[in-house]
Structure 1
Amino acid sequence: MSMKGKLLFVTGLAVGYVLGSRAGRKRYDQIAAAANKVWQSPGIQKQVHAAQDYAAEKVGDIPGAVFDGVRKLTGAAIDRAQAKTTETQAKARAARAAAAESAAESASGSEPLDG
């Protein structure tokens, strides 16, 4: 940041401070009172309560939805693991059968029949 930029920044801070000080606590209290009056109005409070009720209703559904989602994911993971295990077992049986056939052929000294 250049010296000119720093000087403008400090000047802006000083002007903001002076103007804010002139408004002072009295103006702050006026703004806070007006904001509180709007917040407490029946129309705003009606909307606040509607939003709170909606949120409470939806939050009540979340634990059940999370449980269902976790249950589905867990079930799918178990199914995949079981399928993988079954596939691995089938490959192992086929490999053992091929090894046994190869050993039997070697022991008999004969060549396998190809048709």
Structure 2
Amino acid sequence: MRYRLTFISGVAVGYVLGARAGRERYEQLRKSAQRIAQNPAVRNTVETAGQTGREAAVKAVDAVSAKVGDRLPPAVADRVRRLRAGNGRAQDDWGTSNT
């Protein structure tokens, strides 16, 4: 309950501050965020973090599947097979690219 109340109060404060700032400030923040996202250093860091995360996920899947064996649900077992077939570089379903 405490976390829910904190979240709701954060949303309320964000809404009030956002409403006071107006559309002009929103556009400034949006352009600034786009500039940061398009920075090559940021893109490289994000890609490196993504690769590290994928590698860690593959190691975790291997460790879990070695301990659990054939008791995995069919959906999870299919995903594990796809990860292993692609050497951990399987395409995700989140609409993102691996570039």
**TM-score using structure 1 length:** 0.40
**Which of the pair has more CA radius of gyration?**
1
The structure, 1 or 2, with the larger RCO (C-alpha pairs under 8 Å, 6+ apart) is 2
